[in-house]
Amino acid sequence: MELSRRTLLALTGAMAVSGPSARTTTRAALFRGVGQPLSVETIQLDPPRPTEVHVRMVAVGLCHTDLHVLRGERQVGMQPMVMGHEGAGVVEAVGAAVRDIETGDHVALTWLPACGVCRWCRAGAHHRCAESSRIARGPQLDGTYRRRDAAGRDVGSFCLVGAFAERTVVDQASVVVVDKSIPFEVAALASCGVPAGVGAVTNAARVRSGDSVVVIGVGGDGMNAVQGARLAGAKVIIAVDLHAWKLDAARTFGATHTIQAGAGVDLPARVRELTEGVGADHAFVCVDPAATLLDASRATTVGGTVVMTGLTPESVATTPVPPIELLRGQKTVIGSVYGSASQRTGIPEVLRLYRQGSLKLGELVSRRYRLDEINQGYADLAAGRNLRGVLQLG
């Protein structure tokens, strides 16, 4: 009989912890309400349970997903909640049931767990893990809490990670061990935005040598879609963004052409001009799909593929693309999560490409911030000042 993950956690609940096991305190950035700045506070952190890992955080990327929460565009299950999900650090303690993770290991944290027992994980499709529906609720995978604020209230962890903290406790399902030679900020970016962009090209769209590509929004995901298209051998790589400086940067990452978006710009027409009048083979929507999906679809050729990596606010309930256009254009629209591949293999793969010099990852970092500067970091993100801001914690 197959045991559920929750049953497994319960059965191992009395096992010991390897490493420091006392309750401790840590500083963390808490979400306490829509429209409010993140609150940097000292909270209590319990030791890891048997399948969990205590991690000292070193670097965390500032991703747009958290901004959706701060703006009320994505709902979470509770407040307060420690935000942050694109992180890397050092293991300081492990539960007795943890496998293949040891104290001292350098790790990247994954914003989707890989439970290992659901039908998707058993098939190697960890990016479709059945536990993914729980990432915004707040509790740990076993339904309990490891964090409390100064008033003694339970504190949740966003994406089962809660990375905007000096220390965190996560289930082993959210941990990937990385080589100690990898810089922490590179490992952090490899845990979210890099495989999302590169994998959208290589796995979701399966771009081939000689294809033409348009990438809408060249921030955290989009710049990596540009890199993925270059690696795939795309002949035409068109970067689209509101900000001229990002377009200049996109050329250094592999874009062959750029289009500055804005009022009065006919994006599909501009793309056709750059693709012999027929449109791109593939379009990647890496920002605001509600506003850009229709142009992306119309910018692709007959039989073209549109891949969405960017989130929409939960209030957006319909697609702007008329079904008749999809039918007549014989087009495919795909949603891609974690680059449409297992995070267990996707993270090591992008780090392998980084080590051999095929991917620029350190160059993605525009600014670095201390924990007390996190709200400035998100203001910079919202204003389009960063490709990726990184929170430095250690």
Q: How many angstroms separate the CA atoms of 211 and 188, rounded?
A: 30
Q: How many angstroms separate the CA atoms of 364 and 254, rounded?
A: 13
With a CB cutoff of 8 Å and minimum separation 6, the contacts of 259 are: 238, 239, 240, 247, 265, 267, 270, 271
| pLDDT confidence band for 269 (50 / 70 / 90) | very high
| pLDDT confidence band for 394 (50 / 70 / 90) | confident
Q: What is the pLDDT of residue 11?
A: 44
Question: Do you find a cis peptide bond into 80, omega within 30 degrees of 0?
Answer: yes
**Whether the domain at 5-190+361-392 and the domain at 194-337 fall into the same CATH topology:** no
What does residue 276 show for φ and ψ, rounded to 5 degrees? 60, 30
Nearest C-alpha neighbor of 348 from the set 135, 199, 234, 221: 199
Lowest mean pLDDT among 223-232, 296-305, 311-320: 311-320
pLDDT at 380 over 70: yes
Q: Domain ranges in the chain?
A: 5-190+361-392, 194-337
With a CB cutoff of 8 Å and minimum separation 6, the contacts of 228 are: 197, 198, 199, 200, 201, 202, 207
Strand duo 175-178 + 332-335: pairing: unpaired
pLDDT at 5 over 60: no
Average pLDDT for residues 233-250, to the nearest whole number?
Answer: 98
Nearest C-alpha neighbor of 172 from the set 120, 119, 131, 128: 131
Check whether domain 5-190+361-392 has CATH 3.90.180.10, yes or no: yes
CATH assignment, 194-337: 3.40.50.720
Q: What is the pLDDT of residue 301?
A: 98
| pLDDT confidence band for 21 (50 / 70 / 90) | low
| pLDDT confidence band for 319 (50 / 70 / 90) | confident
Residue range 152-168, pLDDT digits in tens:
999 999 999 999 999 99
